[in-house]
Amino acid sequence: MNKRAGLFLFALLSLLANIAYAQQSVRVVILPFEIHALDDLSYLQKEIPTAIQKQLEQEGAKILILERESAPSQEIKAGRFSVVQQLGIQTGADYLVWGSMTWLGQNYSLDAKLLASTGSEKPHAYSVEGEGIENLPGTVKELARRLALKLFKRESVTQIRITGNDRIEEDAIRRVIKTKAGDVYNLKAIADEVKAIYAMGYFDDIRVEAQTVAEGKIITFRITEKPTVRGILVAGNTWAYDDDEIKEVLTSRKGSILNINTIQSDMRRIEEL
């Protein structure tokens, strides 16, 4: 391939990548949030939308924040969502987001609604609670994460189940699983979890099922444990050690689950005698 052809191919691939990105881009209008608090926290009316904007733009969304005087507050309160949708259409947005924050002592509730600019679907409601103004950034980030699941048509993991383990405690298996309830469903991450469980050395087979429910995906790991060690025999030793002395350095035990990692470790222990 000559240099000119290479440059043309690079430009073409870049163009296609930009087109694909543009097709996936989501446009969102965020309205000022209502603040209900005894103290003057009116500055949060803009700061909360700005924080949400930052998070969603990192995901690839295009965000427009409206000023308070441009927000259809009365229509929202009256539930006239068709009028709100017209605002989305006029601004070229795919979705509109609005919400409120309510304080009670040191506790607060951050509530938001997400409405598509077209269609008859009702607004999706989201609510995140927190305590202390210092924890507000994390709460807003969690709200933005939940909004992103809908905006980018992603599915979340709602529950992780483990079945088939008779002797290995479930907590031990869960400790090597990084995916948690609430995370975005990701096939690569699930494949990594299978590798991590296999690496424990106790299992012959691991199968994964992903059940779709209204809230997202229920992930089930169906595992088959390795057989039990029924006995340990030492044969072929011509060294100055008898069988019992060799067995003393072994960590494998009769009645335990066969573990290839433990066996390999025992082999090294014997070699080091």
CATH topology assigned to domain 157-225: Ubiquitin-like (UB roll) (3.10.20)
Tell me which of 71-85, 158-172, 196-210, 250-264 is least confident.
Answer: 250-264
DSSP bridge pairs for 151: none
**Residues whose CB falls within 8 Å of the CB of residue 213, separated by 6 or more in sequence, listed in order:** 158
Q: How high does pLDDT run on average in the chain?
A: 81
Tokens standing for residue 251 = 């960590």
Between 98 and 241, the more confident residue is: 98
Q: For position 47, what pLDDT does the model report?
A: 93
Three-state secondary structure along 132-155? CHHHHHHHHHHHHHHHHHHHCCCC
DSSP per position, 196-215: HHHHTS-EEEEEEEEEEETT
Tokens standing for residue 104 = 């009670």
Average pLDDT over residues 234-247: 61
Tokens standing for residue 123 = 């607004």
**Phi, psi at residue 180, to the nearest 5°?**
-125, 160
Query: Could you say which of 3.40.50.720, 3.10.150.10, 3.40.50.10610, 3.90.76.10 is the CATH number of the domain covering 25-151?
Result: 3.40.50.10610
Q: For position 150, what pLDDT does the model report?
A: 87
Does 31 have pLDDT greater than 80? Answer: yes
Cα–Cα dist 212/45, whole Å: 37
Alpha-carbon distance values, 154 to 81, 142, 150, 215, 216 (Å): 24, 15, 6, 11, 9
Average pLDDT over residues 131-143: 93
**88-110 confidence digits (pLDDT tens):** 898 899 999 999 999 999 999 99
Does 11 have pLDDT greater than 60? Answer: no
Cα–Cα dist 222/203, whole Å: 10
Rounded-to-10 torsion of CA 131, 132, 137, 139: 10
Rounded-to-10 torsion of CA 63, 65, 70, 73: 90
Contact assessment for residue 122 and residue 138, using Cβ atoms and an 8 Å cutoff = no
Cα–Cα dist 93/84, whole Å: 11
Average pLDDT over residues 164-171: 91
Between 244 and 103, the more confident residue is: 103
Q: For position 239, what pLDDT does the model report?
A: 62
Cα–Cα dist 110/119, whole Å: 26
**Domain range summary for the chain, segments of one domain joined by +:** 25-151, 157-225, 229-273
Tracing tokens 């035990």 back to the chain, one arrives at 253
Q: For position 129, what pLDDT does the model report?
A: 95
Confidence band of 161 (pLDDT split at 50, 70, 90): very high
Cα–Cα dist 66/63, whole Å: 10
- Other C-beta atoms closer than 10 Å to the C-beta of 243 total 12
Average pLDDT over residues 103-119: 93
